[in-house]
């Protein structure tokens, strides 16, 4: 298995890229079949506009799951899994679900439930790429402590 930078535990994941392709073809899925399944957050990373590394999203111990069903529904739950945080930090947490479309590079989810009310009824757009056996979700850049942050979340297939 190819490891992403900063891979937390070095675990092998449940399916290789070749297996994932076989699974998608065997269930007769379209291009969305390449993401259908349950994926565990393995690691995260971020950089600024100049490419300089930034604090990892969801802290040094990220935890989360994203699930994509073959009928076009998804759910994502991500958080900082540290039991205690430094006094100057807030725990990052994100969750939402809804109907999705995927064209091979762009995931669009029409949100119908979310921890953040501002997401309700709107679209969450993520670029997706595969890095070895990892599905990499990349949300649009966002301001973080006065700097534009570009995030990458690496997921490994577990089911």
Supply 103's token pair: 């064209």
Q: Are 159 and 27 in contact (CB under 8 A)?
A: no
Provide the residue ranges of all domains of the chain, joining segments of one domain with +: 17-157
Question: Is-contact 138 128, C-beta < 8 A?
Answer: yes
Average pLDDT in the chain: 85
Q: Quote the pLDDT of residue 32.
A: 65
Q: What is the CATH number of domain 17-157?
A: 2.40.128
Residue identified by tokens 């490994």 is 156
| pTM of the predicted protein model | 0.79
- Residues composing the chain: 159
**pLDDT (tens digit, 9 = 90+) per residue, 56-113?**
999 999 999 999 999 999 999 999 999 999 999 999 999 999 999 999 999 999 999 9
Q: How do beta strands 134-138 and 142-144 pair? A: unpaired
């Amino acid at each position: 298995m190819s490891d992403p930078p900063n891979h937390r535990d070095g675990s092998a994941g449940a399916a290789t890229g070749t297996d994932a392709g076989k699974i998608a073809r065997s269930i007769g899925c379209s291009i969305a079949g390449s993401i259908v399944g349950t994926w565990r957050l393995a690691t995260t990373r971020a950089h600024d506009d100049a490419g300089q590394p930034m604090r990892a999203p969801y802290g040094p111990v990220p935890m989360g799951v994203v699930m994509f069903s073959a009928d076009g529904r998804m759910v994502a739950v991500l958080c900082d899994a540290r039991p205690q945080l430094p006094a100057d930090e807030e725990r990052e947490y994100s969750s939402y679900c809804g109907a999705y479309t995927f064209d091979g590079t762009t995931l669009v989810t029409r949100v119908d439930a979310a921890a953040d009310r501002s997401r309700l009824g709107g679209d969450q757009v993520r670029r997706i790429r595969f890095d070895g056996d990892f599905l990499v979700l990349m949300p649009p850049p966002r301001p973080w402590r006065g700097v534009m942050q570009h995030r990458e979340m690496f997921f490994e297939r577990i089911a």
